Amino acid sequence: MSFVPSVKYLKSSDGTRIYAEAVGDISNPSLVFTHGVSLSSAIFDDLFADERLLDNFYLVRGPPCSCSWFVRYDMRGHGRSDKPETMRGYESHLYASDFHAVRTAFRLDRPIFVGWSLGATVVADICAYLRPCPLSGVVFISALPYTGSGMQAVGKPEILSVIPHLLPTSTSNITQTKSLITSFVESFFGNPDRVPFSVKTSWMGMSALQPPSVTEFVFTRPQDPGPMFMEGRKGLQLLCICGANDPFVDGGAVVREMRPYFPNITEISVPGGSHAVFYDQREEVVQALLEFGRRVLGKKVTMSKRILVGKIWAGKKKFSFDHTTSPMR
């Protein structure tokens, strides 16, 4: 089944234009995807073409009816969205306004929010400024859960050492900066030599679009994770997916950071998984999204014959999955 994407340029509360698009069946529940630093929602192209997700969700990508669509958006400062030139343009309430604009434009009723890497920080903004909480569930993929101390708690030395070189205070020249972007993007993948040239250069091009000053704004903007923690205590469900070989984010540290506030947290560690686990290990991530959607939304979803290989921790219980020959419904 194929769908024609619905593309919109939306205006946030401060007039910033936000690029967003959706694909899928509007009668289904919805997923909203946000990307990582310096990139754009275009990194989710393969997920947005996955027939299992399209059959079960309305997929929306962009900044953020009982619908099931796939929605994605370019966060402010990234990709096709506007890039404010001062720190005031990256205040927490504006990220919440961006999501609200997307939710309103695509008529989303309590979607599941899926944030990859720095894109996961938007959840804290949503919980802080939108009442009641408009989310039915949250998925963190290779996530930096919030800026400031949250990044320090879960970031591995590799990413913490790279960040200063991405900022305008760096003494790197243009040649060094280009080299850094290349190595930075390639490090997302488990085996960059096997990633198509067109994919790698596309991601590098997205990264080059972001001025270093904006990179500094999005990394250093202040956030208050307290309201997000409160929503977790009230029952907001959280799924954390991380690659076991992620060089940037310590998946175990993410869970340790979030578990005190999300008693029903579920963790999936993908064996051999990279930072871009949704790209390199797409099968495992799709299966996890389908199962989480079934549990959170109470919706029967069609699972493929290959069930997640790895381990899942739900609260204090640990479950193991292996291959099976029959679909799960």
Digit-coded pLDDT (tens) for 243-261: 999 999 999 999 999 999 9
CA distance 315 to 145: 18
Tokens 């309305």 locate to 58
CA distance 218 to 89: 10
Contacts of 256 (CB under 8 A, 6+ apart): none
Residue type, 235: G
pLDDT at 323 over 50: no
Cα 15 to Cα 47, 64, 82, 128, 138, distances in angstroms = 30, 15, 9, 21, 27
Q: Do the domain assignments include residue 1?
A: no
Q: Is the pLDDT of residue 318 over 70?
A: no
176 lies in some domain: yes
Q: How far lies 49's CA from each of 24, 239, 285, in Å?
A: 10, 22, 14
Strand stretches in 46-153, DSSP E: 58-61, 68-73, 112-116, 137-141
Residue 324: per-residue pLDDT = 29
Average pLDDT, rounded, for the chain: 83
Say if 72 falls within a structural domain: yes
249: domain CATH number is 3.40.50.1820
How many domains does the chain divide into? 1
Residue with tokens 């290779």: 142
Task: Indicate the pLDDT class of residue 313, thresholds 50, 70 and 90.
Answer: very low
Q: Are 34 and 115 in contact (CB under 8 A)?
A: yes
Please choose, from the candidates 210, 202, 208, 163, the residue with its C-alpha nearest in 3D space to the C-alpha of residue 181: 208
Domain that holds residue 32: 6-297
Is residue 32, in this structure, part of any structural domain at all?
yes
Q: Is residue 42 part of a domain?
A: yes
Q: Is residue 214 included in any domain, yes or no?
A: yes
Predicted local confidence at residue 302, as pLDDT: 47
Cα separation, 45 vs 279, whole angstroms: 9
Q: Which has the minimum average pLDDT: 59-63, 68-72, 318-322?
A: 318-322
Q: What is the DSSP letter of 17?
A: E
